[in-house]
Structure 1
Amino acid sequence: MPGKVADFLRTTELEPAERAALDHGMTVRCGRGYTRRITAVPAVHRQLLARCQPLDGDQVVPAQRKARREYENRVTGLGAPA
């Protein structure tokens, strides 16, 4: 997940499984930002994505909206919900 999404999720209330996945992820630096590699079942990724919906609003910077869209594309690529 993009770093801007991970930063946003750290400030929100998460379920224990979501928090554990985020906390146990590995940070990978790339360019100016970073990516958080999270190992979790697709359902947890979908829950995290659902919690990122405020990043689609008009009050956020374009980079945050783009980061959320990139994460959505990655999660969508995981396949259909089980």
Structure 2
Amino acid sequence: MRAAYLGGRSIAALIREHGVSRGAIRTAVVVLMPEHTAAGREDAPAPELPVTLDMPGRVAGFLRTAELESAERSVLDRGVTVRHGQGYTLRVSAVPAVHRQLLARCQPLDGAQGAPAYPAQRMARRAYENRVNALTSTAGP
């Protein structure tokens, strides 16, 4: 049965040939060859899907002047600017890991590393931080 499955025989063909249920064939394939089935890859992490977040304009402006990796730079370049009164937000679509990287890069806005802290910049960074943290708290099982 294993050789037939590896040879490309369908589960339906194996059912007809051996006269057993679909569940029996699938169980046999999973037990005998876990590396060839999706069930055998349960330990592999699921790929992260892109998530769209609104990044405050002050954060986006700071990040545009910072040294970023190519993936982070392309995410910012693909962002859509949404005007709000005098300011704007940048609607950014990226996987949560990239959002976390961008958040880490804008730490100086909070007055870290001896840089002067301005209340509006701190507030903008914290707003983005709250949005990123909300992603990770809802992404759990």
The reply to whether TM is greater than 0.5 is: yes
Instruction: Give CA-to-partner distance per residue, 1:23-48, whole Å, 9 cap, x none.
Output: 00000001210000000000000000
Larger relative CO (CA 8 A, sep 6+): 1 or 2? 1
Aligned to 1:10: 64
CA distance in 2, matches of 1:79, 1:25: 21
Q: Which runs of structure 1 show a deviation greater than 2 angstroms over 4 or more consecutive aligned residues? A: none
CA distance in 2, matches of 1:31, 1:2: 13
Aligned to 2:86: 32
Aligned to 2:135: 78
CA distance in 1, matches of 2:86, 2:128: 18
Gaps of 5+ in 1: none
Name the count of aligned residue pairs. Answer: 82
Identity of aligned residues (%): 70
Q: Output the TM-score relative to the length of structure 1.
A: 0.93
Instruction: Give CA-to-partner distance per residue, 1:11-65, whole Å, 9 cap, x none.
Output: 1000111000000000000121000000000000000000000001061321000
Q: Which residue among 80, 92, 99 is the counterpart of 1:45?
A: 99
3-state SS of 1:68 partner:
helix
CA distance in 2, matches of 1:31, 1:75: 24
1:63 aligns with 2:117: no
Q: What amino acid maps onto 1:55 in structure 2?
A: L
Q: Output the TM-score relative to the length of structure 2.
A: 0.55
3-state SS of 1:77 partner:
helix
Pick the structure with greater CA Rg. Answer: 2
CA distance in 2, matches of 1:36, 1:30: 11
Q: What amino acid maps onto 1:21 in structure 2?
A: V
